[in-house]
């Protein structure tokens, strides 16, 4: 019984081999290129899909960062202040930030100034800079003021 089964199996395989051998080379070539085509198409669309997913991920991260309530003072400074006050130094339109301690001795006065802005300097309302972030920004500005003063004294 088992012998018979393997026998017929071998016969089948042999038969298939013979049939395959009879196929014209052209036909085999066509089949191969067809499968290659399908494969590369699949790879292509997969690549597109990965690109699309990456874009969505990047957009979500950006949106999260802009909504974040947890940026440090330095991060906010780089995001919103550095273009005009590069590194706290004098910009083409904006003053050096080494006298803010004299001009705004209390944190409250500095906070009020930053919240409302002045002239071309944009206001920083609560929906852009949270209270917690404002505390951190003020802390950073005080440190920056001290650093700039120390650098000038050297
Ligand atoms: C579009 C440019 C611009 C941006 C952005 C900007 N500033 Fe200013 N900033 C100015 C200008 C101009 C002044 C001078 C305003 C005046 O007195 O008329 C100024 C003044 C200041 C002062 C007062 C300095 C002093 O000693 O009197 C501080 C402090 C300050 N900016 C901090 C910041 C911080 C912090 C940010 C980011 C949240 C920021 N600025 C973003 C242009 C800018």
For ligand 1, say whether the CB of 128 is within 6 Å of any of its atoms. no
* Domains held by the chain: number: 2
63 and 86 inside one domain: no
CATH number of the domain encompassing residue 98: 1.10.760.10
Same domain, yes or no, for 62 and 109? Answer: no
Examine the domain organization and report whether 80 and 147 are in the same domain: yes
Same domain, 144 and 89: yes
Domain co-membership, 94 together with 149: yes
59 and 85 inside one domain: no
Segment of 5-9, 13-17, 33-37, 99-103 carrying the highest mean pLDDT: 99-103
Which amino acid residue places its CA nearest to atom 33 of ligand 1? 81
Model confidence band, residue 114 (pLDDT cutoffs 50, 70, 90): very high
For residue 80 and ligand 1, the question of a CB distance below 6 A is answered with yes
Q: Could you report the per-residue pLDDT of 32-77, keeping only the tens digit for each?
A: 577 776 777 777 777 888 788 877 876 776 666 566 678 999 999 9
The domain containing residue 132 runs over which residues? 73-153
Cα–Cα dist 52/85, whole Å: 37
User: Quick one: 96 and 63 in the same domain?
Assistant: no
- 87 and 148 share one domain: yes
Please report, for residues 38, 50, 51, 54, 108, the alpha-carbon distance to residue 46 in angstroms, rounded to integers and kept in the order given: 12, 6, 9, 12, 55
Tell me the average pLDDT across 78-84: 95
């Amino acid at each position: 019984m088992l012998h018979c089964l393997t026998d017929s199996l071998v016969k089948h395989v042999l038969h298939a081999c013979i049939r395959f051998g009879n196929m014209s080379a052209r036909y085999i070539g066509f089949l191969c290129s067809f499968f290659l085509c399908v494969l590369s198409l699949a790879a292509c669309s997969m690549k597109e899909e990965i690109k699309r997913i990456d874009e969505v991920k990047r957009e979500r991260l950006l949106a999260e960062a802009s909504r974040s309530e947890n940026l440090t003072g330095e991060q906010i400074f780089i995001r919103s202040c550095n273009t005009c006050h590069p590194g706290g130094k004098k910009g083409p339109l904006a003053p050096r930030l080494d006298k803010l301690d004299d001009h705004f001795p209390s944190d409250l006065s500095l906070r009020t100034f930053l919240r409302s802005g002045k002239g071309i300097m944009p206001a920083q309302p609560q929906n852009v800079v949270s209270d917690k972030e404002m505390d951190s920004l003020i802390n950073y500005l005080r440190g920056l003021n001290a650093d700039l003063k120390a650098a000038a004294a050297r």
